[in-house]
């Protein structure tokens, strides 16, 4: 079980969190024209790196804040966590 | 006869406490402090079980976790436990154990015929033989193999015992209480670290229990006892025996299983049987010691052949002789201690040493005691069916490829030692890259990935002085890193014997024309010939050899066999061991009972149960409950001998004719505040929200970004910047997370706050033609007329002094209202409504009637919003705003979503107007078509329409709208039903929605 440092609450066990996918994903702006391909990339396509991955986690059984985690997908090493408005 | 093999005085058992126990139905005696293994050996019993494949008689190999053979079934009935390792089972009054994998008895086993046929059971036998005919596998081969290969028998009744989970944090976890572990724990504890010391056995001390050493002028065992006493007195230390650290997981999370009950004679009924500790440690010291390796020779698996260290442990710890005519067979010095121990107890051992000579102090001591030593000799083969009775020994030639002479020696036990294997399981589990150590001929830890350090013989260090040094140093260093303190302990002086090096020779060659089985893995019956065959057949990767031969795959996880197997493969392939590599070590290190993993999360404690504030009223009024996620909701209120069908029909009819009340507390409720709320709702719902007036509710549908319908519900504008959202019971949690995601991650510029208020409000629905009349009685000061409180209207009122929210919304399709009060007033509200509703024939209704009402009205719910449908599939395309963007809108342009022939919601009625259509049935054109019969759609929900008094179902049907009026078939192979049906509109009752607006 991972130990994740919520930027608001501190270190907590993984079972308090839920995973939220790639943190580098940007939702296309509303009301803006977008090609089928770009939209498909946003909805369906994710890279699946072995190694460093910036991702979102949600402290569901805690402060209910979404935040960013920089994690090694192969070793589970967590290098850094940050609030949504901070750089990883 | 009683305990004939017990030595006077020796051992740490309590001779004042005699304990009786049963083995295979016969009564025996042992002492308090015995294990089942030591007590059986004290009674001269070696034969305890049969091997897995050949059903060969088997006895004890070890004295601890490494034991591959001595697995027994404990007790009977619900309490029974299969595959208990006899060397770990502590003797307790009334213990009952039986042998496994044998029939009819352990001494005459029918399955042993496999042994005579062993030519036909080579490696990969099952894979090769049972391939065809294909349908023979399930009916014939598999059942026979399962019965023949079975280990113990799992209990058929629920486990009556209690298991608990503990979550603990510490600075340093020390796994193993041998000299290096004790030293580490003591040094760290004295330097202020919070320490947990775990020992898997009942006694602390590890090798100090059996080795003739001194530490700080004390006997090793006394130093261990004193150190434990000292550690136990310190407030920053938790000391645990009978506690196996079996798994090393991510981020220094280790799991330890503590045995808390089975060794106690009359435990309290609430004493948990085991406690599972989840320990998050800043640092871990792995001082798990090492396990002796067997030697490989002909028929080396007979009862009476065991590890030399185990024989010594039985003598020193339990005062038990494992035999009276022992042969000690070794390639190193450590086994001489076992010979010396026999000699001291008046038994003459014969030592067979494969080496040409050795000059260490242990050998000098043996020689001084006149112990008979045969250097350059090996044990070639053994005889004795149920117990070893003789050995063929031979003088090895100079290059150890064959024998110069052979002779037979009678014996009743053979104590073997093929040197030591560091116990690296935890370290490997942590991600440590192991390296091959030439000196010990085994893998040792090298590069840590997590915060762990291995010390002592687990790290390949076999001298006591070095182990103590390493323990004290590492304990100090790690504690200093954590606490920043500098209180350093000095290593006490120590005395030990000096041991020479071992010879890297462990597999005895076969004499000419002999084909003895030489076992490498005892539990799985893997012999040298099986490994040779696997390599000959082209298996190269050690992981493949493992799976093909089952080497190291049994419940003992190859603790004694792995390294011999590796060496064998490397010899055959003419490689060195590091080139062959090792198989992956995975948790658990020792088998863990499922009960311990489950803990207290059994039965109704499996998940929390959510109950509405009116729950007790429902219970008192004969509600039959149904699980709705975590919630318990009344399904129906049973009157007399009513069935579910009769009750729900009665309840639904009463709603249509009079008025009903339903507990809707479980609906998700989210309080939304902030100046940008309307804008936010406009983005998350598919319809328009900017112009919703204060005091009005609106129905909304949410999509996922991929365009699929996510959830639906109504949201009410309480005031300009304050909204009240409802979700389905099932999606309440997900909708909240969804809203939080968009507010925090995607559109942080929106000034909106969301908060779940599901449990803050108790909710009821009043539905039926009399509901307005009832509402006026509840809120006499409010104008509840259709003009003042129209459909989708909202008002606040006082329910006899209790602040209440009144929503005119309807799930049943009838004139209906929902009333919310603060949870604490829920029961007051409910009882008040029941009381005032009597004269209007008010009756409570449950979820079954609720479903009936919504199905015949054609309202969609979870069974239609199943993660595969888009708005237009559910006839909700009118809700899709063309004027604004919203979540998921862009996906609706995808080709598949624009296809006009998509599956759409329709109603379905059986032609006979009698047969209920099972939910999940497939709709097909021709019920007799050849298979696969093309599926046109499926039945999503079924009810008995109380309006028309016949069955009615909703279905998702290909090109559904165009099929209205057509006749199809509903097939349910599961229920063996074939029903001719007519497709109708999904709005079966009141298609224009006049009632809700009345
Ligand atoms: Zn938090």
Inform me whether the C-beta atom of residue B431 falls under 8 Å from chain A C-beta atoms: yes
Q: What is the reported pLDDT for B796?
A: 97
CA distance B781 to B802: 13
Residue A10 lies in a domain: yes
CA distance B321 to B341: 10
Ligand 1 centre and the CA of B149: distance in Å? 51
- Burial class (CB within 10 angstroms; exposed 0-12, middle 13-18, buried 19+) of B360: middle
CA distance B519 to B642: 67
CA distance B705 to B742: 11
Inform me whether the C-beta atom of residue B706 falls under 8 Å from chain A C-beta atoms: yes
Inform me whether the C-beta atom of residue A43 falls under 8 Å from chain B C-beta atoms: yes
Q: What is the reported pLDDT for B141?
A: 58
Q: Total structural domains in chain A?
A: 1
Class of B14-129 per CATH? alpha beta
Q: Helix B677-684 and helix B732-741: axis angle, to 10°? A: 110
Question: Which of A2, A36, A66 lies nearest to residue B745, judging by beta carbons?
Answer: A66
Q: Are residues B591 and B200 in contact, defined by beta-carbon separation less than 8 angstroms?
A: no
Q: What is the reported pLDDT for B130?
A: 53
B251 Cα to chain A: minimum distance (Å): 6
C-alpha dihedral, B103 to B106 to B112 to B113, nearest 10°: -50
Domain containing A55 — which CATH number?
Answer: 3.30.2270.10
Q: What is the reported pLDDT for B111?
A: 67
| pTM summary value | 0.91
Contact A76 B250 (CB under 8 A): yes
Q: Are residues B746 and A27 in contact, defined by beta-carbon separation less than 8 angstroms?
A: yes
CA distance B37 to B44: 11
Inform me whether the C-beta atom of residue B1 falls under 8 Å from chain A C-beta atoms: no
Q: What is the reported pLDDT for B584?
A: 82
Which residues in chain B are contacts of A2 at CB distance < 8 A?
250-251
Q: What is the reported pLDDT for B125?
A: 59
On whether the B900-998 domain is CATH 2.40.30.110, my answer is yes
Residues of chain B with CATH 2.40.30.110: 900-998
Ligand 1 centre and the CA of A16: distance in Å? 9
Residue A7 lies in a domain: yes
Q: What is the reported pLDDT for B800?
A: 97
In this prediction, what percent of chain B has a pLDDT beyond 70? 95
Inform me whether the C-beta atom of residue B737 falls under 8 Å from chain A C-beta atoms: yes
Contact A66 B431 (CB under 8 A): no
pLDDT digits (tens, 9 = 90+) for B714-741: 999 999 999 999 999 999 999 999 999 9
Inform me whether the C-beta atom of residue B278 falls under 8 Å from chain A C-beta atoms: yes
Question: Which of B251, B706, B740 lies nearest to residue A64, judging by beta carbons?
Answer: B740
Residues of chain B under the 70 pLDDT cut = 1, 103-104, 108-150
Which residues in chain B are contacts of A58 at CB distance < 8 A?
737, 740-741
CA distance A36 to A31: 15
A22 Cα to chain B: minimum distance (Å): 12
Q: What is the reported pLDDT for B968?
A: 98
CA distance B530 to B544: 13
DSSP B245-298: EEEEEGGGEEEEEEE-STT-SS--TTS-SEEEEEEEEEEEEE---EEEPPPB-B
- Residue of A1, A59, A81 for testing the chain B interface, max B β-carbons within 10 Å: A1
B747 Cα to chain A: minimum distance (Å): 9
CA separation, residue B710 to residues B328, B631, B704, B730 (Å): 72, 21, 6, 11
Nearest chain B residue (CA) to A78: B251
* Tokens encoding B141: 């081969």
Ligand 1 centre and the CA of A17: distance in Å? 9
Decide: helix, strand or coil at residue B743: helix
A87 Cα to chain B: minimum distance (Å): 13
Which residues in chain A are contacts of B893 at CB distance < 8 A?
36
Residue A55 lies in a domain: yes
Which residues in chain A are contacts of B253 at CB distance < 8 A?
1, 3, 13
What CATH superfamily is the domain B163-290+422-495? FAD/NAD(P)-binding domain (3.50.50.60)
CA separation, residue B443 to residues B213, B436, B461, B582, B883 (Å): 27, 4, 12, 8, 69
Decide: helix, strand or coil at residue B995: helix
Nearest CA among B839, B797, B801, B848 for reference residue B818: B797
Q: What is the reported pLDDT for B131?
A: 53
Q: What is the reported pLDDT for B151?
A: 73
Residue A74 lies in a domain: yes
CA distance B301 to B305: 6
CATH of domain B606-667+759-859: 3.30.1360.120
Fold of B668-757+869-897: Alpha-Beta Plaits (3.30.70)
Residues of chain B with CATH 3.50.50.60: 163-290+422-495
Nearest CA among B592, B518, B492 for reference residue B247: B592
pLDDT digits (tens, 9 = 90+) for A41-54: 999 999 999 999 99
Q: Tell me the residue ranges of DSSP E strands in chain A.
A: 3-6, 10-13, 18-22, 52-58, 66-72, 78-83
Ligand 1 centre and the CA of B600: distance in Å? 27
Residue A31 lies in a domain: no
CA distance B643 to A82: 57
Helix extents (H) in B112-162? 113-116, 125-129, 136, 142-149
Nearest CA among B307, B254, B342 for reference residue B421: B307
Q: Tell me the residue ranges of DSSP E strands in B794-949.
A: 794-799, 802-807, 816-822, 842-844, 903-910, 922-924, 937-945
CA distance B976 to B971: 8
Q: What is the reported pLDDT for B100?
A: 85
Q: Are residues B4 and B320 in contact, defined by beta-carbon separation less than 8 angstroms?
A: no
Range of the domain at A50: 3-25+42-83
The number of residues making up chain B comes to 998
Q: What is the reported pLDDT for B136?
A: 60
Q: Are residues B407 and B327 in contact, defined by beta-carbon separation less than 8 angstroms?
A: no
Ligand 1 centre and the CA of A56: distance in Å? 13
Residue A64 lies in a domain: yes
Inform me whether the C-beta atom of residue A85 falls under 8 Å from chain B C-beta atoms: yes
């Amino acid at each position: 079980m991972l130990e994740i440092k919520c930027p608001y609450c501190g270190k907590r066990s993984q079972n308090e969190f839920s995973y939220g996918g790639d943190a580098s994903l940007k939702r296309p702006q509303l009301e803006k024209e977008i090609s089928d391909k770009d939209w498909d990339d946003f909805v369906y396509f994710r890279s699946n790196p072995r190694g460093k991955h910036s991702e979102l986690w949600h402290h569901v059984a805690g402060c209910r804040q979404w935040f960013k985690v920089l994690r090694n997908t192969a070793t589970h090493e967590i290098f850094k966590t940050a609030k949504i408005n901070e750089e990883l | 006869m009683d305990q004939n093999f017990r030595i006077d005085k020796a051992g740490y058992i309590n001779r004042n406490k005699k304990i009786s126990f049963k083995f295979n139905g016969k009564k025996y005696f042992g002492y308090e402090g015995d294990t089942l293994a030591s007590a059986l050996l004290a009674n001269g019993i070696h034969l305890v079980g049969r091997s897995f494949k050949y059903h060969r008689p088997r006895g004890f190999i070890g004295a601890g976790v490494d034991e591959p053979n001595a697995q027994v079934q404990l007790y009977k009935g619900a309490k029974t436990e299969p595959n208990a390792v006899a060397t770990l089972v502590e003797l307790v009054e009334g213990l009952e154990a039986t042998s496994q994998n044998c029939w009819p008895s352990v001494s005459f086993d029918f399955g042993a015929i496999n042994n005579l046929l062993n030519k036909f059971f080579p490696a990969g036998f099952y894979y090769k033989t049972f391939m065809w005919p294909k349908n023979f596998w399930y009916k014939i081969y598999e059942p026979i193999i399962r019965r023949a290969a079975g280990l113990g028998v799992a209990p058929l009744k629920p486990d009556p015992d209690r298991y608990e989970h503990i979550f603990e944090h510490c600075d340093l976890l020390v796994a193993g209480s041998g000299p290096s572990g004790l030293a580490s724990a003591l040094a760290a504890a004295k330097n202020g670290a919070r320490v947990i010391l775990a020992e898997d056995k009942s006694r602390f001390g590890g090798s100090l229990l059996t080795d003739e050493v001194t530490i700080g002028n004390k006997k090793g065992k006394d130093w261990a006892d004193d150190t434990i006493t000292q550690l136990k007195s310190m407030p920053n230390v938790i000391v645990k025996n009978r506690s196996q650290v079996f798994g090393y997981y991510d981020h220094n999370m280790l799991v330890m299983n503590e045995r808390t009950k089975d060794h106690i004679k009359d435990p309290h009924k609430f004493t948990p049987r085991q406690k599972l500790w989840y320990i998050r440690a800043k640092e871990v010291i792995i001082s798990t010691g090492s396990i002796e390796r067997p030697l490989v020779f002909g028929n080396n698996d007979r009862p009476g052949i065991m590890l030399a260290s185990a024989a010594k442990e039985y003598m020193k710890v339990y005062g038990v002789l494992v035999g009276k005519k022992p042969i000690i067979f070794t390639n190193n010095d450590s086994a001489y201690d076992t010979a010396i121990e026999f000699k001291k107890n008046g038994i003459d051992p014969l030592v067979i040493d494969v080496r040409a000579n050795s000059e260490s102090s242990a050998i000098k001591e043996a020689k001084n005691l006149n112990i008979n030593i045969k250097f350059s000799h090996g044990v070639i083969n053994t005889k004795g069916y149920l117990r070893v009775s003789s050995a063929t020994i031979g003088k090895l030639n100079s290059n150890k490829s064959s024998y110069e002479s052979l002779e037979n020696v009678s014996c009743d036990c053979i104590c073997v030692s093929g040197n030591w294997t560091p116990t690296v399981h935890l370290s490997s589990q942590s991600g440590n890259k192991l390296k091959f150590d030439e000196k010990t001929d085994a893998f040792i830890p090298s590069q840590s990935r997590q915060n762990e350090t291995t010390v002592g013989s687990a790290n390949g260090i076999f001298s006591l002085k070095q182990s103590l040094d390493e323990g004290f140093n590492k304990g100090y260093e790690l504690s200093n890193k954590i606490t920043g303190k500098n209180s350093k302990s000095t290593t006490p002086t120590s005395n030990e014997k000096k041991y020479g090096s071992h010879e890297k020779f462990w597999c005895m060659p076969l004499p000419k024309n002999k084909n003895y089985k030489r076992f490498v893995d005892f539990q799985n019956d893997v012999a040298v010939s099986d490994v040779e065959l696997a390599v000959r057949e082209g298996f190269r990767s050690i992981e493949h050899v493992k799976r093909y031969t089952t080497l190291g795959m049994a419940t003992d996880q190859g603790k004694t066999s792995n390294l011999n197997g590796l060496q064998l493969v490397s010899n055959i392939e003419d490689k060195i061991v590091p080139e062959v590599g090792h198989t992956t070590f995975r948790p658990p290190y020792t088998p863990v009972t499922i009960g311990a993993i489950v803990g207290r999360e059994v039965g109704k404690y499996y998940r929390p149960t959510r109950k509405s504030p009116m729950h007790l009223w429902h219970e008192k009024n004969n509600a039959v409950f149904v699980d709705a996620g975590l919630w318990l909701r009344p399904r129906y209120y049973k009157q007399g001998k009513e069935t579910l069908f009769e009750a729900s029909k009665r309840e639904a009819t009463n709603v249509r004719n009079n008025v009903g009340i339903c507990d809707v507390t479980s609906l998700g409720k989210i309080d939304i505040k902030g100046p940008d709320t309307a804008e936010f709702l406009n983005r998350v719902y598919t319809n328009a929200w900017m112009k919703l007036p204060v005091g009005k509710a609106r129905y909304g549908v949410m999509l996922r970004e991929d365009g699929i319908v996510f959830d639906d519900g109504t949201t009410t504008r309480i005031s300009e910047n304050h909204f009240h959202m409802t979700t389905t019971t099932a999606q309440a949690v997900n909708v909240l997370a969804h809203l939080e995601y968009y507010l925090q991650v995607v559109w942080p510029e929106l000034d909106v706050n969301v908060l779940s208020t599901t449990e803050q409000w108790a909710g009821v629905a009043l539905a039926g033609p009399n509901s307005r009349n009832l509402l006026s009685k509840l809120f006499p000061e409010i104008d509840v007329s259709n003009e003042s409180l129209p459909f989708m209207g909202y008002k606040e009122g006082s329910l006899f002094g209790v602040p209440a929210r009144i929503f005119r919304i309807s799930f049943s399709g009838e004139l209906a209202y929902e009333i919310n009060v603060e949870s604490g007033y829920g029961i007051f509200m409910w009882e008040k409504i029941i009381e005032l509703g009597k004269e209007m024939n008010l009756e409570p209704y449950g979820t079954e009637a609720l479903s009936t009402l919504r199905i015949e009205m054609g309202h969609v719910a979870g069974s239609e919003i199943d993660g595969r449908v888009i708005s237009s599939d559910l006839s909700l395309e009118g809700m899709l705003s063309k004027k604004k963007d919203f979540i998921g809108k862009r996906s609706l342009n995808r080709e598949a979503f624009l296809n006009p022939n998509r599956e759409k919601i329709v109603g379905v009625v059986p032609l006979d107007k009698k047969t209920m259509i099972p939910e999940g049935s497939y709709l097909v054109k021709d019920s007799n078509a050849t298979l696969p019969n093309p599926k046109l759609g499926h039945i999503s929900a079924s009810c008995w329409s109380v309006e028309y008094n016949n069955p009615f179902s909703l279905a998702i049907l290909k090109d559904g709208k165009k099929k209205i009026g057509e006749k199809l078939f509903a097939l349910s192979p599961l229920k063996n039903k074939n029903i001719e049906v007519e497709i109708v509109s999904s709005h079966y009752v009141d298609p224009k929605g006049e009632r809700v607006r009345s």
